Every structure is written in C-alpha cells, then in structure tokens.
Structure 1
Amino acid sequence: MTDASTTAPVTAAHARRGVFEVGERVQLTDPKGRLHTITLEPGREFHTHRGFLRHDDLIGAPDGSVVTNTADVEYLALRPLLSDYVMSMPRGAAVVYPKDAGQIVQMADIFPGATVVEAGVGSGALSMSLLRAIGEGGRLLSFERRDDFAEIAKANGRAFFGGDHPAWTVHVGDLVETLPTVVEPGSVDRVVLDMLAPWECLDAIGEALIPGGVLICYVATTTQLSRVAEGIRAHGGFTEPSAWESLVRGWHLEGLAVRPEHRMHGHTGFLITTRRLAPGVVAPERKRRPAKGAYSDVDPATAGADVPADASASVRGSTAATEIPAEAWTSEALGERVKSDKTIRRVRRSLTGTSDTN
C-alpha cells in the first residue's frame, strides 16, 4: 500500500511497548470499570462530569499507569488490546467479534507469510486479526463491494497499526469477478468469507486455492449455514465441511460471590470450514448416511452425489434453503440492523475526512 521506508515501523514490536507517545490511543478505566479510549495530543483534555484529565499527564508515562483527574478520580491507563480496539472503533458494518476472529485464525491455520483472501472487509475488525497472524511477510487480499466500507476499514487499520500495513491490499469490487485478475490459480493458502452468500463464490475460490488450502466461512443464520454446506458438497472439489458455533460466558469474581455473569455473549455467527482437494481427486465416500428425509424426496444413499448443475433443487439433494431466490439473501432479511447511508457517511467522514456524495 505504501513503500517499505514508510511502513517499516507499522507492525514493529516497539509500537506496543514503552511509554505513551503523542498520537497513541490509550484506554482509560474508571473506578466503576467503565472504559474510555482517547488519542493523546499535547495540550488536550479528557472531560467527564467529574473533572478532567490532561493528556500531558499521560504522554511519557509507562503503560499500566494510574493517573488522577482534577476531581481526584483515578484512572487506569493501558494500551488497548486488539480485542478492545475492534469493539470500540468506528464501524460501518457489523464486526466479527474477537471470540470468532480468534477461532478463525486458529481453525483456518493462518500462518506467518501466508497468502490470505478475505471477503467482505466490513469495518476491518477481522482484517486486523488476519494481518497480525500473517505478519509483514504475508499477503492479505481483502475484497469489499462497497467503497465506503472499504475506506472505513482501511482507516480503522491505519489507526490501530499507526500506518498502512505493508501486507494489506483492499480491492473494491465483486470477489468472483475481481479475484481471477488479482491472483494466479492455485496460489492462495487460505480464504475467509464473511458475506451473505458465500456459496456463490465456491468456483472462484476453488480455482484460487492451493491443494490442501483452507476455506472458512462466517455466516449468521442456519439457512446460510445449510446452503453453504450443500454448495461445498455439490462442488466436489472440497472435503466434507465441518461447522460449529461458540458461546462465551463471563464470570463475576467478587469475594465469595463467584458465579456466571447475568449477561453473556451468545450467538454471533456460525463457522464452517473445508479444505481444497487436489485437482482430479474425488473425496472418499461418506460412510455415515444422512437421515431419511433430510434431503426432501431424494434417496439418502445418493444425497450429495455429483449431479448436473442445471438439475432441479430436489434432484440435487438440496435443502429448502437452496430454493430461496438469490436476491432474497439481504442483510435485512437475515436480521441484521443495517445502518443508514447517513450514518455510514458520518463514520467515513470522521475517519477519513471525506464523504460519499453519490
């Protein structure tokens, strides 16, 4: 994204160590556990209804300091972790939560130096976790259909890393149309899809992935999960998919009152993963057959077998989810609270100083 001389310090360890410097983001925790994130600037002040805190009192202080404001309220000052940052950063689209991003990095085996394709980029939360895993020697090729989302994501990444990450390129456009123009066939190690209809991209992804490469999809609903699983099986070039979700429950720790929190991070999304087979290889026949009736009027013994692409949904052994028209798969239909264009423009303007006037 920029030349090496300007990007060398972006991911260096020193950016996460040492005293607080001008331009850094600092997370303040008040006595009630409330979090406030500020960007340090000389002469500025952080105000609350109970006094104010001078930025100059933090500049030059070590990470993990305690500072007192004008009303004698103490604040713990720490550099925000990546998980802290993504939950508080400006966003245009919903973010992938840290609990899911961590599993994507682990279960997709994202390694240093890997070439990774990501679609869509959203607000950049998952992109930052992927960049952390591949390092400066890898490549992250992110695809996003909306220019305003792409700008917000790049601005969030720039704010966290302190500059443009040298391994990150964001392409605005449709993945199926753009990917073949960006990568050579069989040159991508891992693919991460966070989009409404990942099954539409399987042919393009199958062409780009190396043999043994991993595809992992993040979807919000069971109808999406079912359709992408059936699409993977019908493609024929991938291993049997595996799917799961994770639920995270915090614990209250105070004296003898050690118990689960009343609130928890419940369902955020499903993860489904598969691996690319070598060219011309057919996966071994499944020994465990689907339950009778699982595939409409199709004999379970033949469900998932290779069939013509133009066959009817019932002949293909598809579930009801595959019969839903493509145009029906929208964010609103899947229950996402979509932000208005006005809100998106405001977020983009606050991060980049520009707005979309179209």
Structure 2
Amino acid sequence: MTTTRKPLVAGERVLLIDSRERRYLVTLRSGKQFHSHMGIVEHDAIIGGDEGSYVRTTKGGRLIVFRPSLSDYQLKMKRGAQVIYPKDVGQILVGADIFPGAFVVEAGTGSGALTLALARAAGDGGRVVSYELREDHHAQALENIDAWYEGLGGKPENLELKVGDVFGGIEEDGVDRMILDLPEPWAAIPATTDSLLPGGILCCYLPTIPQVSQTVEMMRRHGFDFIETLEVLLRTW
C-alpha cells in the first residue's frame, strides 16, 4: 500500500537538521523566520513543502526538514520538571502494557513527556488522566501538550490533566494501569491503588534504590504480586 504524506502547513512543528546533525524544533508561522549561526530561513520557504526536502539559509547553509517524532519532541520540549527520557518511556509502555483502549491514571505529570506517550498508546478508545501537585508544572505540561497537538486537531478529549494531591486518593475508578512518577510513591499506594481493576498494573518510576525498596515493601503490604524491578541502560553506537 502506498501512502502520501501531506505537505507541511503553518502551525505544525518541524525539525530542522544541519550538516552536523544539530536539531532545531520550529513551529511554522507564515511570515516568520528561523535564525541561527547558519543564517536565516523564511518559514514560508518551508510551508507547503514536503518532509525530507532541503532549504537554504541566507548564508548558503543547508537544512533538511522533517516532522519530529514524539521522542524528538520529548527531548526538545520546555521543562518545568525533569522529563522521563524516551528510553524509559518505551520500557514503561511495554512493561506496564499500555494497550489501545486502556484507562490509565498517571500521578506526576511533570513536563508531560510520558503523558503524551501514554495518550498515544491508549489511543482514541482509551482514556488518560494525569495528576500534578504543582500548578507551575501543570501549566508547563499543558503548554507542552497543547503545542504537540497543535496542527493535529487539538488535545484529545480523552486526555485530562488535573491539579491534585493523589496522596488523599483519586476520583477515578476502574483503572487498568497506574503510573506513579512521584518522589514518595509508597505514600500514594494506600489511597490510590484500590482504584485499579483486578489484574491491573502499577508502575513506579524511581531514580534511587532506597526509593525502590520502600515502594516494593509497600506494594507487598497491599497485596501486589509479581513485582519486578528493572534498570534501563541505553548505549548508542
């Protein structure tokens, strides 16, 4: 089957890559310009073109134009909180079995990197609710998520961001998968995991072994079985 990609349009993001593979994330706006040490590129020279095309700067530099992948965007998005990097996002999606149609609750929206991946994996038939305690992080995540969906029809209705403290419990019930990206997830387990369906999966993202130890202990006390601890290492060549 042959598919044809649509031309690039104003409002969507593109990735400009130079000869040294430096990457620049740009939102196309008619009448605007992209400035770099290589010179200037008119956005209008890109709008209407195709992915994989080249544009020249005013200094003769050459840039190749692509639509960014989600991982490109996650690495370039504005950060309020530390983002979860793509190598860990991939493991979470597979390890927590985020399937099309899943109802997923995330605690700790942060900058929204994982939230975007959860929404994509759960799909149109799923639902993702993400809680964030800090209003400034919530605002930054909302900005990042809205920016990603600009040009894609807007943020889907089945993706909901909330400002809230999950340590006192959550409103949702019948949850398939729960992701806790919190400094003290063990403190949230007693009040939140009753919302999981039987057979549901809880996944916690933690940077240190003492945090892992306390979380595993609390999970055992609350009847969780088949607990695994994984460290994800990535080596590029």
TM-score (norm 2): 0.94
CA distance in 2, matches of 1:164, 1:241: 34
Cross-structure match for 1:257: none
Cross-structure match for 1:355: none
Shift of 1:178: 4.7
Cross-structure match for 1:208: 195
CA distance in 2, matches of 1:239, 1:96: 26
Q: Which 4+ runs in 1 deviate beyond 4 A?
A: none
- Would you say 1:183 and 2:162 are equivalent positions? no
How is 1:160-179 mapped onto 2 (pairs within 5 angstroms)?
Answer: 160-162=148-150, 163-179=154-170
CA distance in 1, matches of 2:5, 2:179: 31
Shift of 1:176: 2.9
Alpha-carbon displacement from aligned partner over 1:280-335 (angstroms, at most 9, x marks no partner): xxxxxxxxxxxxxxxxxxxxxxxxxxxxxxxxxxxxxxxxxxxxxxxxxxxxxxxx
Please state whether the residue corresponding to 1:46 is helix, strand or coil: strand
Alpha-carbon displacement from aligned partner over 1:117-165 (angstroms, at most 9, x marks no partner): 1011000000000000011221111111111111111111111012222
CA distance in 2, matches of 1:46, 1:17: 24
Is the 8 Å Cα contact of residues 115 and 138 (structure 1) preserved in structure 2? yes
Cross-structure match for 1:244: 230
Is the 8 Å Cα contact of residues 136 and 166 (structure 1) preserved in structure 2? no
CA distance in 2, matches of 1:198, 1:66: 47
How is 1:216-231 mapped onto 2 (pairs within 5 angstroms)?
Answer: 216-231=203-218
Letter in 1 for 2:93: V
Alpha-carbon displacement from aligned partner over 1:61-97 (angstroms, at most 9, x marks no partner): 0111111112221101000100000111111000000
Pick from 43, 46, 49: which aligns with 1:55? 43
Cross-structure match for 1:129: 117
Cross-structure match for 2:181: 194
CA distance in 1, matches of 2:201, 2:96: 6
RMSD between superposed Cα atoms in Å: 1.5
After superposing the two structures, state which structure 1 stretch, 221-230 or 167-176, moved more: 167-176
CA distance in 2, matches of 1:167, 1:96: 22
Is the 8 Å Cα contact of residues 141 and 171 (structure 1) preserved in structure 2? yes
- Would you say 1:83 and 2:81 are equivalent positions? no
Is the 8 Å Cα contact of residues 143 and 174 (structure 1) preserved in structure 2? yes
How is 1:75-114 mapped onto 2 (pairs within 5 angstroms)?
Answer: 75-114=63-102
Is the 8 Å Cα contact of residues 123 and 152 (structure 1) preserved in structure 2? yes
CA distance in 2, matches of 1:192, 1:29: 34
Cross-structure match for 1:158: 146
Please state whether the residue corresponding to 1:127 is helix, strand or coil: helix
Is the 8 Å Cα contact of residues 166 and 192 (structure 2) preserved in structure 1? no
CA distance in 2, matches of 1:118, 1:17: 33
Please state whether the residue corresponding to 1:170 is helix, strand or coil: strand
Is the 8 Å Cα contact of residues 26 and 79 (structure 1) preserved in structure 2? yes
Is the 8 Å Cα contact of residues 119 and 143 (structure 1) preserved in structure 2? yes
Is the 8 Å Cα contact of residues 106 and 179 (structure 2) preserved in structure 1? yes
- Would you say 1:45 and 2:33 are equivalent positions? yes
Letter in 1 for 2:172: V
Cross-structure match for 2:12: 24
Structure 1: runs of 5+ lacking an equivalent: 1-13, 252-358
CA, structure 1 residues 178+239, in 2 after alignment: closer, same or farther (shift >3 Å)?
A: closer
Is the 8 Å Cα contact of residues 122 and 144 (structure 1) preserved in structure 2? yes
Structure 2: runs of 5+ lacking an equivalent: none
Alpha-carbon displacement from aligned partner over 1:235-272 (angstroms, at most 9, x marks no partner): 2x210411011111111xxxxxxxxxxxxxxxxxxxxx
Cross-structure match for 1:320: none
Q: Answer with 1 or 2: which has the greater Rg.
A: 1
Please state whether the residue corresponding to 1:242 is helix, strand or coil: coil
